[in-house]
Amino acid sequence: MASATAVTAVGAVVGMASGSEGKTTQTVDVAGATLLAEVPSGAQAQTISDNIGQQASAQQASADAAAKAAAEQKAAEEAARQKAAADAQAKADAQAKADAAKVADDKRKADEAAANRSKARSAMAATDNSTPSAPAISVSPGSVQDIARQIVGNDTQFQCFSQIVKRESGWDYTATNRSSGAYGLVQALPGNKMASAGADWRTNPATQIQWGLSYMNDRYGSPCGAWSFWQAHSWY
């Protein structure tokens, strides 16, 4: 763009060249007119201002949305952390409660077992004082097993029956547990329970076997059922 001074100078020269015709040429400030044309009108200025305001509002809204999303994310993460902590505490409380219940149950069973042993000793002593003992039958362990095999019948069930008797009494039908008072091949507790199978329960292995087989069938469904329980608990 030419400066105003240069344009004015050009205008003066043109005027002088035209003097021969007797006409006066007026100089025009072209540069000044050009600069004024570039200044926006009032309406244009308002439009520009409105656009700038809209852009600022949009940028602020975007910043607010980002801040809100970040806050919501943080809140969600905190809620998840609190839930995980609560779940862990609930699990720990449940385990502690289960452990306490098991301890209480084990104590109850131990107390019941002690009471049963005491009761059995008392019953055994009463039986010893009131019932005369029949003479023991002379039977070898092998013969006792043969009797049991005949009474039990099924060979598989006999094998299970045999596993229990072997561990309870070693096939000694006069075996007595001095601690609990259990008696006989199957260690009935108290021993006089076997009287339901015969009055000679003390001295007749067949009577003890019949009672033991009936007990295993009634309580565990079969000798093998009783043997499975014995393997898990070392008693039946």
Per-residue pLDDT tens for 104-145? 777 777 666 555 555 544 444 444 444 444 444 556 657 899
Is residue 176 within 8 A of residue 166, CB to CB? The reply is: no
How many residues are listed for the chain in this entry? 236
Percent of the chain with pLDDT over 70: 69
Q: Give the Cα separation of 59 and 74 in Å (integer).
A: 23
Q: Tens of pLDDT along 63-110?
A: 888 999 989 998 999 999 899 988 889 888 888 888 888 877 777 776
Rounded to whole angstroms, how far apart are CA atoms 107 and 118?
16
Band (225; pLDDT cuts 50, 70, 90): very high
Among 4-8, 147-151, 158-162, 206-210, the minimum mean pLDDT is found in 4-8
Is residue 188 classed as helix, strand or coil in its secondary structure?
strand
Neighbours of 159 (CB within 10 A): 14
Report the predicted TM-score, pTM, of the whole model to 2 decimal places.
0.44
Report whether the peptide linkage leading into residue 190 is cis, meaning its omega lies within 30 degrees of zero. yes
CB 18, CB 25: distance < 8 Å = yes
What backbone torsions phi and psi does residue 151 show, to the nearest 5 degrees?
-75, -45
